[in-house]
Amino acid sequence: MLVRKAAVLACLAATMVLAPLVLAQKAAEEGPKYDVAKEVTIKGTVEEIKEVPNPKGQIGIYLMVKAAGEEMEVRLCPNSFLKEFEVVFHKGDQVTITGSKVRVNEKDAILAREIELGNNKIVLRDKQGAPAWTWLTKGGGH
């Protein structure tokens, strides 16, 4: 009986130590969260387009946008979502971006909700920040 109690206590102790580490790892893999209260709109020029793999094996598209003399990383969505709508960005494109300002690796970035490119508006998230690319996998809407 004493051995069983010791084993249970050891399991509980291990869970208490490991659970925060697992949750922290999961949060790091999921990345920053959209916060409507931190929404901003910037106008600028695309300086660079980056394809960045994420922990889920998808390729995410990031734009480096120069706005008000500062270069800002703008995180868009999975590349497959942009391809679905035949959206392509080029260096020099003039864009207006609305999104949530976040901190990533001690730097400011924006999680884009909408992008205006010429006469086109690309909606990447709903007004609460839920990703539009998940709508396709959930049966077409929410």
* pLDDT tens, residue by residue, 54-105: 888 889 999 999 999 999 999 999 999 999 889 999 999 999 999 999 999 8
- Whether the per-residue pLDDT at 7 is higher than 60: the answer is no
Under the banding of pLDDT at 50, 70 and 90, the label for residue 8 is: very low
Q: Per-residue b/e over 90-105, b at no fewer than 16 CB within 10 Å?
A: eeebebebbbbebeee
Residues written for the chain: 142
Under the banding of pLDDT at 50, 70 and 90, the label for residue 31 is: confident
CA 52 to chain centre: 11
Mean pLDDT computed over 122-136: 90
Mean pLDDT computed over 12-40: 59
Cβ-proximal residues to 105 (8 Å cutoff; 6+ apart), any chain? none
Could you tell me which CATH number the domain at 36-138 has? 2.40.50.140
Cβ neighbours, 10 Å, residue 37: 5
